[in-house]
Amino acid sequence: MSIAPLAGGVFVLLLAASAVPAQAQPAQQPVPPRAQGAVPQPPPSRGKLLYETHCITCHTSKMHWRDGRIVRDWLGLVEQVRRWQDTDKLQWSDADIVEVARYLNDAIYRLPKPAPA
């Protein structure tokens, strides 16, 4: 048996297989390449989400930087967040109030926080 007839048969078989239509495959979405050195950002904090949902309309960053601001320390910041969420009847939990105060402190005020008891 020679190799030539075997090779010709394989060629015919491959040619016949290519004539049969392939089943439709779902198109795969290309995955965009990640920028070199880019680090994925963590999701926004609960405090940031609450603040941006309920407070940012009236309390722009200028509100926090004005000369007459009331907040002078961490506890004062927590009390102001509590006051305004009460005024707007938001019914936030104590944890939510602290989360919003933490977000504001990290983003704007940078006040020292008391050590946990």
pLDDT tens-digit profile, the chain (117 residues)? 555 555 555 544 444 555 555 555 556 666 556 666 778 888 999 999 999 999 888 776 666 665 677 889 999 999 999 999 999 999 999 999 999 999 999 998 899 987 776
Q: Specify whether the CB–CB gap between 108 and 65 falls below 8 A.
A: yes
Q: What angle do CA 48, 76, 62 make, to 5 degrees?
A: 55
What pLDDT shows up at residue 22? 52
What pLDDT shows up at residue 111? 93
What's this model's pTM, rounded to 2 decimal places?
0.61
What pLDDT shows up at residue 15? 47
Q: Which of 88, 81, 89 is nearest to 109 (CA)?
A: 81
